[in-house]
């Protein structure tokens, strides 16, 4: 109920079309009632999230037949992001057949439904800049747009390279059961999360060109919510807890964990003084892995 209340309040405050909230929760409840709960399965959980993202972006684009470059670029960025993430997550769950996060939740209807409700809320909050840019008057393209698009591209590159390096690491049999400390992972324990957050900061930066009222600054809930989720809720804490139980007694792992979660200055030195070779970039971009990180 809280998720519905938040979406309802934002829809009214920002004067957004009600259809966005209907899509977010309608699709999630549809998947939950038709497949998730009857089969006590999370196999389509991530796929339903990606479909919900795509549906909201499409609905936003169709809101007005006249599209500005800003609206087109931000919508394309959102589609590229969710397609890449959704493909990886669906391939992962298809291979693993289950997600341990849902083991206990699946035993109870309401507990399991909470996960699907939260995903609907997550999609709605994350897509705020895309929904708002497609329902707002459009000034000419300017500096904020260029900065925002550059930030998004940088974030995408960082996440793609980090995920590609992780994908290659896990594909090497000699690394089975080990944690990665090479490439970007040498400079930050979570470079993929850094890139993920930077992409949504970029979208909001571009949308800033359209801001004409204080209420529209609520678009920044998108990267803030995503960062809180990754750093304090479902990302870093779960991964590092699992890592501690697996390698916590190893001196090498203890030394690795002494560094800050976001080794930003070390990362920037890496980007400045080390060249990412083109072959490595191509492999990284083709690797469809976007979530976790350090655990193999």
Other C-beta atoms closer than 10 Å to the C-beta of 214 total 7
What pTM was estimated for this model as a whole?
Answer: 0.80
Q: Yes or no: say if 270 and 184 are a contact pair by the CB < 8 Å rule.
A: yes
- pLDDT, tens digit, 9 for 90 and up, residues 215-256: 999 999 999 999 998 888 877 777 778 777 777 777 777 767
Give the separation between CA 105 and CA 111, rounded to whole angstroms.
Answer: 5
- pLDDT, tens digit, 9 for 90 and up, residues 25-48: 999 999 999 999 999 888 888 889
Average pLDDT in the chain = 82
Residue closest to 224 by CA, chosen among 81, 153, 77, 122: 122
Q: Yes or no: say if 175 and 239 are a contact pair by the CB < 8 Å rule.
A: no
């Amino acid at each position: 109920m809280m998720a519905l209340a938040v979406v309802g309040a934002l829809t009214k405050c920002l004067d957004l079309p009600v259809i966005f909230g209907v899509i977010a929760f309608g699709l999630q409840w549809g998947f939950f009632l038709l497949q998730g709960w009857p089969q006590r399965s999370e196999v389509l959980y991530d796929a339903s999230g990606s479909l919900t993202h795509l549906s909201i972006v499409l609905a936003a684009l169709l809101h007005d037949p006249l599209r500005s470059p800003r609206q087109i670029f931000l919508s394309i960025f959102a589609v590229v992001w969710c397609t890449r993430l959704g493909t990886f997550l669906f391939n992962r769950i298809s291979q693993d057949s289950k997600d341990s996060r849902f083991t206990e939740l699946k035993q109870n209807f309401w507990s399991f439904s909470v996960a699907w409700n939260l995903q609907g809320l997550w999609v709605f909050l994350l897509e705020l800049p895309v929904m708002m840019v497609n329902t707002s008057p459009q000034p000419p393209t300017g500096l904020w747009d260029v900065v925002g698009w550059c930030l998004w591209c940088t974030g995408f590159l960082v996440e793609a390279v980090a995920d590609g390096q992780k994908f290659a690491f896990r594909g090497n049999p000699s690394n089975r059961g080990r944690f990665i400390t090479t490439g970007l992972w040498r400079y930050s324990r979570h470079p993929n999360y850094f890139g993920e957050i930077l992409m949504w900061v970029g979208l909001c930066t571009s949308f800033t060109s359209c801001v004409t009222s204080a209420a529209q600054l609520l678009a920044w809930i998108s990267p803030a919510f995503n960062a809180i989720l990754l750093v304090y809720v479902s990302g870093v804490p779960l991964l590092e807890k699992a890592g501690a139980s697996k390698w916590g007694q190893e001196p090498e792992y203890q030394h690795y964990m002494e560094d800050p979660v976001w080794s930003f200055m070390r990362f920037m030195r890496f980007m400045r003084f080390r060249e990412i070779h083109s072959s490595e970039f191509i492999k990284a971009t083709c690797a469809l892995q976007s979530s976790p990180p350090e655990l193999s």
